[in-house]
Amino acid sequence: MKKVHEVLVPDIGDAKDVGVIEILVQVGETVVEGQTLIIVETDKASMEIPSPHAGILQSLVVKLDDKVSEGSPIAFIEADQSAPASSSPSEPAQSAAPEPPVAPIAPVAPPAAEPVEPPAQLKPTVPVAIPDSPTQLPLASPSVRKFSRELGVSLEAIQGSGPRSRITKEDVSAHVKRALTTQTPSASGTATQPLAGLLPWPVVDFAKYGPVESKPLSRIKKISGANLHRNWVMIPHVTNHDDADITQLERFRIQVNKEKAEGGVKITLLALLMKACASALKKFPEFNASLNGDELILKRYFHIGFAADTPEGLVVPVIRDVDQKGVLTIAQEMSELAAKARAGKLSVAEMTGGCFSISSLGGIGGTYFTPIINAPEVAILGVGKSVERLALEDGQVVARNLLPLSLSWDHRVIDGATAGRFNAYLCTVLADYRRLVL
């Protein structure tokens, strides 16, 4: 007895509308239970969707670049009812009389249905797959190919660790790390590819100098470390430093927090900064953009990320549509996202889609620094701790509250004059917040 099973996308976490980047089977192919049917990709990771049944692939419901979510149909597999019926020993009553549920569920079989092959003949069909391309390029997802291009690494030189030797981002990162730590000089005295000219990484036995402790990096630090390294190497950073006079803004913030004391929401300086940055991004659209090859993608939305300190390392939640929200709403969302970040419960959607980022050390200390741009963004604002300084105003010595700003920008997209104007505008708005309504 044959039965047709509908294959649905299983639980893939909080991800929705993820893209289908690879289809690894063909209609008419015999598949085994657990064999990967398709690969989907979110902004952060690729996921393989396996077949829950063995049998003949009758039809595929999805195609490349389709968007799917949990519960979306993928395919229909015609299976031999006799094979899987005994998979659960705790269900003898159901397997003894399978005919009643089969009749209304099973669709009409096609006229030229293929005969069911014995299990011994399933093995030769397992490695059968659609070639990645007519030229037999290494098997890798589009995001991995882009990642390797950004690092200047050829995929042909990498051995993949995924199914069917598929190359993953971890494979590319490991290849680069090996190149950095193991490359040796050639006869001419120059290092071998791909990073010619770099000395080998120093190998030191630290224990011979005193007591040491080995502690593995957290998962967040491993991921962010690789991204920061890539961004620092690939993006020509320039950083402008300025002081914004927030004397009046701080008075306004303190006054509003007193008035809203019973509401439970406290306005932070970071929330006010977000609103000011959204205005600056509108005025200087080059900062609200991303490079895509030789094209500049100008975004018409204003999603701003902020660095949140957690026990495992920094993460960057994103506040969406900052230009359309009031400061109280922004402060409330920031508080909720920061709490989720500390609890390790941020979803992928809450950390993606940002146009611009703010890294604030105001609650800790420090003045100026060089924040690393969060690719594919083209700029990031670093904020230090505000300090009171004496200044001369109309012949009088007065105390002013100054906020150190450090704006890092991608020199491939932004020039120095535009960066200077961006910082000057931001300082003007922070000095007199009423300008946001103009």
Q: Which sequence positions are flagged as catalytic? A: 411
DSSP 408: E
End-to-end CA distance of the chain: 74
Beta strands in 225-306 (DSSP E): 237-245, 289-292, 295-298, 304-306
C-beta of residue 310 within 8 angstroms of C-beta of residue 354: no
C-beta of residue 43 within 8 angstroms of C-beta of residue 352: yes
DSSP 361: -
Q: Which two tokens stand for residue 83?
A: 């094979």
In sign, the C-alpha dihedral spanning 222, 241, 330, 283 is: negative
Burial (Cβ within 10 Å: 0-12, 13-18, ≥19) of residue 313: middle
The count of C-alpha atoms lying within 13 angstroms of the C-alpha of 312, restricted to the half-sphere facing its C-beta, is 16
Q: What are phi and psi of 357, to 5 degrees?
A: -125, 155
Q: What are phi and psi of 282, to 5 degrees?
A: -65, -40
